Amino acid sequence: MTIRKILPYLLGLLFLAFLIRQAMGNGDFAVFLEASKLVRSGINPYDKWIPISEGHACLYFYSPLWALLLIPFSSLPNFIPNFLWLLLNAWCTFRILKLLAAYFDYSLLSIKQQNLIIGLTLALSLRFILYNFSLIQVTLFLLWGSLESLRLFRDKKYLPGAMLLAFVINIKILPLILLPYLLYRKEFKGFVLTVVCFVAYIFIPAIVLGWKFNTELLFAWWETINPSNAEHLLETGLGPHSLTALIPVMLTPTAGEISSSRNLMNLSPDSAILIMNCVRLGLILLTFCFIKWPPFTTSKSKFQELHELAYLFLVVPLIFPHQQKYAFVFMIPAVFYISTYLVLLYKRKNAKDQHLFRFLIFLSLLFFILTTLTTDGLIGKQANQWTQHFKLITYGMLVLVIVLIKCNPEKILPQSETSQN
């Protein structure tokens, strides 16, 4: 056998070994399993610090339904559910790329160009994909469920699409941003059915847990994730990365885990939080630059829709509080879209397009440096902590917003493509 034939098997074995090694650890899935054990015993998990390793414990931020569904797995050795979930994560990653590829006629590109798009997408998002695997997180599942539900809506399969979208929103509210998008894009049936399914998922656990205990869990869940909580307004630690973790600490003195000052101004906390909310509102309003006017119409093309969704998913971890690095795997649609745009733009030889291409490459490299080359595996743990202290990942994501703005789909596609509904 030639090296080319053996290589896929070797890579498969290495990936399997990687999954086994990660499954032997205690990622965030251990928190989910411990929370399900507490729920099984009739104990509220939302006010308990759940230990996952020596000197490290986490709170449970996810829904009662999610804890209930994991009860059958909570009596197994952690390795088994960990490994099964990692396998699902691997499938979700593959499926996400397939779903994104459906937004453009890639038969217009050569196999080499198609592989280049996939390679660029994986390279630009690899840090966050691997971080989701190492923590055994749910974010890849949330992204897959969101994209899959949109595909089901396009195929007029409204009930399964609504059930899936409502489920991923129930697990963690990040995909909630798709509900106003469905309304704006005239997917009224999908919107209504998703809301109905979400309400049903809220109360279904009462069948098993009883009305009183389920109500207690729902109130405790809301108290935990309420964005108006003080801990969600001013986040000073190394872990969080979002506007909430970036802007207030730039505008008011704070005591972080590293003593070095990072504030440019000395405003009051209330003033800093007000400015942060204004910037957050600005990013939300910027959505209209992508989805265009008027409302209640469909996108001009699938590629235009991908441009819209790329921005929506990208801003999710920026505008929501208490976001960790793994949440930025939501940027995969953005880097997939940008990678496709760069390949299409490179084929054009006029000076204006080549100037834009060089500018986008520069910004993409800056994004890559801020978000990927700052990982501790490359620069060491101590230097990485400094990058987290100054929130370089969040800056990188804001750079990516600029790239998306410059990548106008109407200026890159043939007229025949942009006129397709």
CB 147 within 8 A of CB 96: yes
CA 70 to chain centre: 22
Closest among 101, 323, 261, 295 to 180, alpha carbons compared: 295
Per-residue pLDDT of 323-365, as tens digits, reads 999 999 999 999 999 999 999 999 888 899 999 999 999 999 9
Predicted local distance difference test score (pLDDT) of residue 420: 45
Predicted local distance difference test score (pLDDT) of residue 208: 96
Q: Tell me the C-alpha distance between 257 and 162, whole Å.
A: 42
Q: 292: buried, middle or exposed (CB in 10 Å: 19+, 13-18, 0-12)?
A: middle
CB 374 within 8 A of CB 241: no
Residues in the chain with pLDDT values less than 50: 415-416, 418-421
Closest among 94, 95, 126, 116 to 341, alpha carbons compared: 116
Residue ranges of the domains in the chain? 102-109+226-421
Closest among 92, 345, 71, 395 to 242, alpha carbons compared: 395
Predicted local distance difference test score (pLDDT) of residue 29: 92
Q: Tell me the C-alpha distance between 326 and 131, whole Å.
A: 6
User: How many other C-beta atoms lie within 10 A of the C-beta of residue 46?
Assistant: 22
Predicted local distance difference test score (pLDDT) of residue 416: 39
CB 165 within 8 A of CB 141: no
In this structure, what is the dihedral angle of CA atoms 355, 358, 362, 363, given to the nearest 10 degrees? Answer: 60
Closest among 400, 371, 405 to 388, alpha carbons compared: 371
Which residues does 184 contact at the CB level (< 8 Å), separation at least 6? 291, 295, 296
Count of alpha carbons within 13 angstroms of residue 203, beta-carbon side: 6
Helix (H, G, I), strand (E, B) or coil at 318: helix
